[in-house]
Structure 1
Amino acid sequence: MTIRLGPNRYGKAECRLVTVVRDGERHELTDLNVSTRLAGRLDATHLTGDNADVLPTDTQKNTVYAFARDGFASIEQFGLRLARHFVAGQDAIEQAQVHVESYGWRRLGGHSFARAGDEVRTATVTATAEQAWVVGGLHGLTLLNTTGSMFKGFPRDRYTTLPEADDRILATAVDARWRFASADVDWNAAFEAVRDALVGAFVDTYSRSLQQTLYAMGERVLQRVPEVAEVRLALPNRHHFLVDLSPFGLDNPDAVYVAADRPYGLIEGTVLRDDAPPPGPAWDLGAA
C-alpha cells in the first residue's frame, strides 16, 4: 500500500476588521471578513514538521490589518493586493487565495450608520506568480414578487400533494457568484451593474418556474456586464402558503400567508458565455 500527501493549503480564517475614513464631518465605514489560504511546496511541514516554508497564519492576519491601513477602493482590489503579496513574498507559496466578505451599513448621518440587512458582497481572488483570477459575488439578497409567478404542468405520482398554482408569491434569497474574464475591471461599477441586472431580471420575468427566473437573471448579467464570463446562482424557494381561515368562518382572498423557512426547494444553475475563457482556481473554492 502506498500512502502519500494530497492537495493541501493553510491560512487564517475570518479576520474581522472595520475601517473608518474620517474626511471632515462625513465618515466612510467599511466592515469586512477576510480569509487567506496559501498553497505550494509545503510537503515538509506535513511529513517531517519542518516549518521553514510556513508563513505563520498570525503573520497573514497582521498583513491583512496592515494593508487595510493603506485603504482600498474595492474589496476585489484589496484581495488582489494581498494575494499577490503572499505569492511574491514567499518562495514556497505557489498560490494564494483571499476571500473577502463585505457587510453593508446604511448611512444615518455624517458619522452614524445602521446595519443594512443580511445582504453581503463577496470577492474571492486567487493569484499565482503568472496570473490572477477574480470571482465576485453576493448572498442574502432577499427578493419577493407578490404576483407574476406560476407553477403547473409538473409530473404527479402517488406522493404528490402539491396543487398547481396559476398565481403565487415567489420569494428567494439570492446566492450568486460571477467569474470575471480578466483582473482589470472597474470592480465597484461592475458589482453595481451585476446586482442591478439580477434584481431587474427578477422583477421583469413572468416566472413559470424558479428555474426559468434563474436563467433570466444570469442571462441579464451577461448581457449587461461584458466583463463577466459566467454566473452561478443558488436560489432557495422561500415558500409562502395561503392560510386556511375557513375554520373561523372566514375566507382568504389571497391576503394572508404563512412564510415557511424549511424545508425549501433549492434551485441551482450556471449561465455562461460560449466564448468564456476557462475558469481559474478561484472558481471552485474547494480546490487546493
Structure 2
Amino acid sequence: MTAHSHHPRPAILGQNQYGKAENRVVRIVRDGDTHHIKDLNVSVALSGDMEEVHLSGSNANVLPTDTTKNTVFAFAKEHGIESAEQFGIHLARHFVTSQEAIHRARIRIEEYSWERIETSESNSRFIGADEVKHSFVRKGQETRTAQITYDGSRWEVISGLKDLTVMNSTNSEFWGYVKDKYTTLQEAYDRILATEVSSQWRYGWSSDEDRMPNWDRSYAQAKKHMLAAFAETYSLSLQQTLYQMGVRVINSRSEIDEIRFSLPNKHHFLVDLEPFGLKNDHEVYYAADRPYGLIEATILRDGAEQRIPVDMTNL
C-alpha cells in the first residue's frame, strides 16, 4: 500500500483577507491663499471571523469593501492627513475597534509628493506672483510607502520608499570574484555604481502606551542617512554599500529596529569605441535596463527579530 491510498484529508480555509485596494485620495488644505496637498494611494485589507462568507456565502460578518472605500475618504476629512503613517493608524484602529468580526487590519499606503511651482516676479502683472501659492509640480524622486498593521493590541508600522534612483560615477570597483568556464565579465577597478533603492524599515513602536515616533521627521532622516552612506562608501560590491546604508540608519535612528533593501544593480557598460578609432576613457557608457543584478538584505538592531517579508515586491 502506498501512502497515497489513505483517505485524503478534507480541504480547509487558510489565511484570508479582503478589502478595497488602491483608493486614490487627495486632500487639499487651504491656508488662506497658500494650499497644501496630500496625495495617497490607500489599500485596506481586513481579516477575522470570515469563515462563513467563504463556506456558505453568508455576508453577516462582512463590512462591504465599498464601505471601506467610503471610510478612507471620510477620514481624510474627519482626521485630515498628517502623515501616511498617522492616517493608516486612524484607519486600522477604526476597522478593528468598530467591527466585532474584524480582528486585524492592514493598511498599505503609497504617498506621492508635490512641490510648489515658484513663480517669477516678471509675471506678477498677470495673477500677482504673491498670490500664486496653489500651483504644484509632482516630485519625481521617490514614492513614500507605509504599511500599518493592527490586531487590537499590537501595532506594526513599516515605512519605506521605492523608485529612488542613485548613482556614483566613480569610487566603485568589482573584482576578485569567482570565475568558472561561463565567466566573461572583466574585472573593474573604476566603475559606475547605480541602483534604484527600494527600502522598508520597521519601527520599534508597537503599543499606544509607547511614545509614537515623529513619522515625517523619521522618514526624512532615514532617507538622509541611507543617501549619505551610499555617497560616502567606497564600494567594492553593491552588497557592501547596501550594508553600510542599513547600518547608518540603524545606528542613527533609535526608533528603527529593522531595515530591508532591494537594490537592482543598474549596470553601465563601457562602450567599445575602438571600431571607430576612438579611445573610451570611462566616458561613454551603455545603460542596460535588463537583465540586472538584484541585491537584497535585511539589517537588524542586535536582538531584534526579522519581521519584514523577504519578498518585498508586494509592499
TM-score by length of 1: 0.96
Q: 1:263 and 2:291 equivalent?
A: yes
Q: Structure 1 residues 186, 283: CA separation in 2 closer, same or farther (over 3 Å shift)? A: farther
Matched, 1:128 2:129: no
Q: CA deviation at 1:247?
A: 1.4
Q: Which runs of 4+ in 1 moved over 3 A?
A: 277-280, 282-287
Match of 1:199 among 227, 232, 236: 227
Which letter does structure 1 place at the counterpart of 2:264? P
Name the SS of the counterpart of 1:174 in structure 2.
strand
Relative to total residues, which structure has the larger strand share, 1 or 2?
Answer: 1
How do 1:1-288 and structure 2 match up within 5 A?
Answer: 1=8, 2-70=10-78, 71-109=80-118, 110-183=133-206, 184-276=212-304, 279=307
CA distance in 2, matches of 1:161, 1:150: 17
Indicate the SS of the match to 1:96: strand
Query: d(CA) in 2 for partners of 1:134 and 1:53?
Result: 27
SS of 1:154's equivalent in the other structure is coil
**2-side partners of 1:159 and 1:181: how far apart?**
45
Residue 28 of structure 1, CA deviation? 0.6
Distance in 2, Cα, partners of 1:285 & 1:199:
20
1:75-96 deviation digits (Å, cap 9, x = unpaired): 1000000001000011010000
Residue 218 of structure 1 aligns to a residue whose secondary structure is: helix
Q: In structure 2, the residue corresponding to 1:223 is in which secondary structure?
A: helix
CA RMSD between the two structures: 1.7
Change beyond 3 A, Cα 1:123–1:103: same
- SS at the partner of 2:159? strand
Q: Which of 1 and 2 has higher RCO (CA within 8 Å, sep 6+)?
A: 1
Q: Which amino acid aligns with 1:50?
A: S
Structure 1 unaligned regions, length at least 5: none
Give the CA deviation at 1:275.
2.3
- CA change 1:84–1:255 in 2 (3 A) is same
- Secondary structure in 1 matching 2:213: coil
Task: Please state whether the residue corresponding to 2:142 is helix, strand or coil.
Answer: strand
- How many pairs does the alignment contain? 286
CA distance in 1, matches of 2:229, 2:18: 39
1:12-70: CA deviations, max 9, x gaps?
A: 01001111111122111111100000001100000001101000000000000000113
Question: What SS does the aligned partner of 1:266 have?
Answer: strand
**TM-aligned CA deviation for residue 241 of structure 1:** 0.7
Cα deviation 1:155-195 (Å, max 9, x = unaligned) = 10111000000010000000000000005111011001100
Please report how far the alpha carbon of residue 111 of structure 1 lies from its aligned counterpart in structure 2 after TM superposition.
Answer: 1.2
The aligned residue for residue 5 of structure 2 is none
**1:279, CA displacement in angstroms?**
3.9
Structure 2 distance, partners of 1:197, 1:21, is 30
TM-score, with structure 2 as normaliser: 0.88
Change (3 A) 1:120 1:129: same
Q: Tell me which structure has the larger Cα radius of gyration.
A: 2
Cα distance in 2 between the residues matched to 1:126 and 1:218:
23
CA distance in 2, matches of 1:146, 1:201: 15
